[in-house]
């Protein structure tokens, strides 16, 4: 039982809330039963340490069973220790330290994907996490991060994915132009989502959305720069039927990804 919230081991886990510590160690923090459950189900090999309070461990027999099957031993800690480790104010009894497992850009596009989300300069952790979750739900093949997009292993991003981080490849790449070149070489149309674009409904009618697609989403405040828009095959905008000024980035991205998913499945008869 770990009881000292100031011990070096506890402090090392707590430091993973900082990007510098994550970059140095290649590890990140995972909190809560849902995230831990998904990690144990899909990437148990990436789990370095698992910490649990007595109540948190007893409350989730399925997690205990998954941990046993994966050969992952839980270290029992007090509530104070878990609180010192966690990024949230009220952690839910389980915290894990997990190895980062980004996918190389070349691997993403070498696998003949049909739907990819490219995130350029997205700064809000909640937005990025929600886009990863929406991409997973829409059946996308990968999410690629470019520019100064927020770290996908930021605790707020990880929480917002609700476990989807373990379901599809996430790639971290610096150069948007290189990523677009890979997408084109793989036979994907690049569709940029931007308020300056053409009506998405017209593109749907023309069959554009049924093609293998990489959606490009930009910064929450500025959108996509002109040089980024110039790399796209089409620039499209969602129609606003009501009086809202615009849609939240993550909401708009979710609609775009689902529009492509619907169109692709209708075209293939699946």
Task: Summarize pLDDT for 97-131 with one digit per residue, the tens.
Answer: 999 999 999 999 999 999 999 999 999 999 999 99
Q: State how far the Cα of 204 lies from the Cα of 199, in Å rounded to an integer.
A: 9
Report the percentage of the chain scoring pLDDT > 90: 95
In terms of C-beta density within 10 A (0-12 exposed, 13-18 middle, 19 or more buried), how is residue 266 classed?
exposed
Would you state the pLDDT for residue 146? 97
Cβ atoms of 207 and 245 closer than 8 Å = no
pLDDT digits (tens, 9 = 90+) for 215-270: 999 999 999 999 999 999 999 999 999 999 889 999 999 999 999 999 999 998 76
Cβ neighbours of residue 188 under 8 Å, at least 6 residues apart?
109, 113, 114, 116, 211, 212, 213, 214
Q: Is the pLDDT of residue 91 over 90?
A: no
Both ends of the chain: CA-CA distance in Å? 52
Beta bridge mates, 2: 77
Cβ atoms of 135 and 5 closer than 8 Å = no
Q: Is the pLDDT of residue 184 over 80?
A: yes
Would you state the pLDDT for residue 1? 87
Would you state the pLDDT for residue 140? 98
Would you state the pLDDT for residue 171? 97
Neighbour count for residue 6 (Cβ, 10 Å): 9
Kindly report which listed range (20-29, 116-125, 171-180) carries the lowest average pLDDT score. 171-180
In 3D, which of 139, 238, 131 has the Cα closest to residue 194?
238
C-alpha 197, offset from chain centre? 26
Would you state the pLDDT for residue 174? 79
Judged by DSSP in three states, 268 sits in helix
pLDDT digits (tens, 9 = 90+) for 36-70: 999 999 999 999 999 999 999 999 999 999 999 99
Please, which pLDDT band fits residue 11 given cuts at 50, 70 and 90?
A: very high
Please, which pLDDT band fits residue 24 given cuts at 50, 70 and 90?
A: very high
């Amino acid at each position: 039982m770990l009881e000292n919230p100031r011990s070096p081991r506890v402090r090392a886990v707590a430091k993973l809330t900082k990007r510098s510590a994550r970059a140095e160690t290649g590890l990140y923090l995972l909190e809560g039963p849902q995230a831990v459950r998904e990690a144990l189900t899909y990437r148990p090999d990436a789990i370095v340490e698992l910490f649990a309070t007595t109540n948190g461990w007893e409350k989730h027999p399925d997690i205990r069973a998954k941990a046993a099957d994966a050969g992952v031993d839980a270290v029992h800690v007090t509530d104070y220790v878990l609180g010192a480790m966690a990024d949230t104010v009220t952690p839910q009894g389980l915290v894990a330290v997990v190895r980062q497992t980004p996918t190389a850009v070349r691997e993403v596009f070498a696998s003949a994907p049909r739907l990819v989300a490219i995130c350029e300069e997205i700064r809000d952790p909640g937005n990025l996490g929600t886009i990863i979750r929406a991409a997973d739900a829409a059946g996308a093949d990968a999410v690629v991060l470019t520019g100064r997009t927020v770290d996908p292993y930021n605790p707020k991003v990880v929480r917002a994915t609700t476990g989807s981080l373990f379901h599809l490849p996430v790639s971290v790449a610096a150069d948007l132009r290189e990523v677009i070149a890979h997408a084109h070489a793989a036979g994907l149309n690049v569709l940029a989502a931007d308020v300056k674009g053409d009506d998405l409904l017209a593109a749907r009618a023309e069959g554009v959305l049924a093609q293998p697609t990489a959606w490009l989403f930009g910064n929450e405040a500025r959108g996509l720069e002109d040089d980024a828009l110039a790399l796209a095959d089409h620039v499209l905008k969602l129609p606003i039927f009501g009086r809202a000024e615009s849609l939240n980035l993550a909401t708009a991205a979710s609609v775009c990804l689902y529009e492509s998913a619907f169109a692709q499945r209708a075209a293939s008869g699946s």
